[in-house]
Structure formats: C-alpha cells, structure tokens
Amino acid sequence: MTSIASIETIQQGPALDRDILDGLFDLVDDDDDSFVRDLFESFVGSFGDARDGMRSALATGDTEAMRLHAHSLKGSSGNLGALALSDIAKELQRMGDEGDISSAGPWVDAAEEEYNRVMVAVGELLPGFEFA
C-alpha cells in the first residue's frame, strides 16, 4: 500500500468540516455550546496523549504503538470534523500497519501543525476557548 497523499495536499482543506460541526451543534440548544466545548476540551487531552505516544513510538521504532495512537487520533479528529488531521493520522496508522514507520517523523510533525490549525478554528468557532 502506498501513501494516501502528500502532507501539503491534505492540509489544503479547511481545518474543520462545517457539516460535521453543524451536526454537533444540532445536538445542543441554540444558546448553550457547552456540549461542543466539552468535546473539544476532551479532544485537547486525547490529542496530547496520541502525540506523545506517536513521538515515543518514533523514538523506539514501535510500529504497533504508532498504529494504535494514530488510530485513536484518526477517530477522535474525524468525529469532530478535523478531517485533514484525521487523514494525517490515517497515514500514520497505515505506516504502523505496514510495520515501517521510518518516514513517519514529518507526518507526526504535520499532525501537530494541523492540530494547531484546528485549535485556531475552534477558537474562532467558540470564543474564549483555550487549549494548551
């Protein structure tokens, strides 16, 4: 199996998919965005865990750990509409699946860059939202 795309191609789209976000907001009252805020706050923590796990996997060459952490990130980011981040994680998961993470470094860096882009978009969507 080969790479799904280049990092640059993946990052050309919007940081957050509007249709998915609209679906999340449809689940709450018009004047209460706390549910969506809670989802993104949880995502901040899960991203940190996934990022740290992927960096550790890179350092140790642990392809299974890369696969597991990337799989987790793929799902959580996709569910919140961060589709480019989900696609980056999908590529990292593929590398783990294939047992070769030798070229994963730039993809892990791209995941962090894309996460930052997502958080800027979340800040615009949810004024006052803070992330670390």
What does the pLDDT read at residue 82? 97
At 15 the three-state DSSP class reads coil
The residue to which tokens 């990130």 are assigned: 73
What does the pLDDT read at residue 28? 82
What does the pLDDT read at residue 2? 46
What does the pLDDT read at residue 23? 93
pLDDT digits (tens, 9 = 90+) for 10-34: 777 899 999 999 999 888 877 788 8
- Spans in the chain with pLDDT lower than 70: 1-5, 132
The residue to which tokens 């615009």 are assigned: 124
Average pLDDT, the chain: 91
What does the pLDDT read at residue 32? 81
What does the pLDDT read at residue 4? 55
What does the pLDDT read at residue 96? 98
What does the pLDDT read at residue 132? 61
DSSP letter assigned to residue 28 = S
What does the pLDDT read at residue 9? 77
Question: Are 123 and 129 spatial neighbours (Cβ–Cβ below 8 Å)?
Answer: yes
The residue to which tokens 């993946």 are assigned: 10
